[in-house]
Structures are given as C-alpha cells and as structure tokens.
Amino acid sequence: MSKKQQLQVLEKAVKNYPDFPKEGIIFRDIFGIMQDVHALQALRDLLVEHVALMDIDCVVGLDSRGFLLGPLLSVELAKPFIPIRKKGKLPGKIFSENYVKEYGEDTFEIQASGIKGKKKALLVDDLLATGGSMSAAELLLSKVGVNVVECLVVMELKSLNGRSKIKAPVHSLLKYD
C-alpha cells in the first residue's frame, strides 16, 4: 500500500463527533484507528518509516495517548520509552513543569531515573491542538538536559496554531483546519 493510501485509511478511520465536548467543536477521535486493525497497521507503518533513521536516545510519550504510540516506536527503534505523566502519578524522584490548559492549569512530571543519561528524544502524542501540553513537555525535557529532536503526532488542528509554541520540528500525519 502506498503512503497516500495509508493516509487515506487513517483519515477514514478517524471518527468525528460534532459538538463534543461542547457546541461548535468537532472532536476527532484517534480510537477509530485503534479499533480498525488495517488502520492501526497503516499507522504503525507510517510512523516507523518516518522515525527509522532518527538519531535519538529515547522515545517520550505524553499522558495518555502518547502511551499508545510511544512504546510501539520504542520497540522498533530499540530505544527506551519514557512517559511524561500528569502530576502525582509517578513514584520516586521526579522533575515537573506547570502549564496552562484551555480550562485551567496542570502539571507534567517525568521520573529522574528514566531520563538519566538521555540527551536526544522523540516526543510523541496523538494530537497537536493549541500546543500547550507539547510545549510544556518540550520545556520539561530541556530543563533536564534533553533536546527534543522532533515532535511526532498523528493529528494536527492547524487552525489552533499549536506548532508556533514548539521549538522542535513537528511532524503530523493528518492535518485538519
């Protein structure tokens, strides 16, 4: 299957929910891809092809859908997977970063033991919207001495201009206005 065909399979599998979570919003649900084995295989193939030659020390995934994609890439690249979680979910010594969301503030955390010795990361999540969580994760990693080589997402909502908040290059498979 060509790359164009794989992207069409993904596009078709994404479920759209108008007026969710509030009126005027179209919620694009990645779980439609996860529920369709052919779409999931196309997603895996596209992601793996994109990162195959990337020079990184680790794959970092954002809570929570980055946890679905990150380990898959981690195995393919033979690099460790490191989760960035919301506050209070990780044991041991942690580093944290506060950030502003659409409905208030939140905090991301990463375990010191997991990131020790790492210098170059691939940052993975399902969606880039406003860029708040991705930029907070990028800042958190930079504070602990890790350079984000690239931010990789399945979907990007271009009209929200989240890309402008992120210093690292961004690669998105599906782009919506």
Separation CA 152–CA 42 (nearest Å) = 16
Residue-wise pLDDT tens digits, 49-72 = 999 999 999 999 999 999 999 999
**Distances from the Cα of 155 to the Cαs of 117, 129, 176, in angstroms?**
30, 9, 7
Catalytic residue among 23, 85, 102, 150: 102
Q: How confident is the model at residue 101 (pLDDT cuts 50, 70, 90)?
A: confident
Architecture of domain 53-176: 3-Layer(aba) Sandwich (3.40)
Provide the residue ranges of all domains of the chain, joining segments of one domain with +.
53-176
The predicted model scores a pTM of 0.95
102 is catalytic: yes
Is 106 exposed, middle or buried (CB count within 10 Å of its CB: 0-12, 13-18, 19+)? middle
CB atoms < 10 A from the CB of 13, how many? 20
Q: How confident is the model at residue 104 (pLDDT cuts 50, 70, 90)?
A: confident
Catalytic residue among 65, 85, 97, 156: 65
44 is catalytic: no
Which is higher by pLDDT, 47 or 100? 47
**Range of lowest pLDDT (94-103, 148-157, 167-176):** 94-103
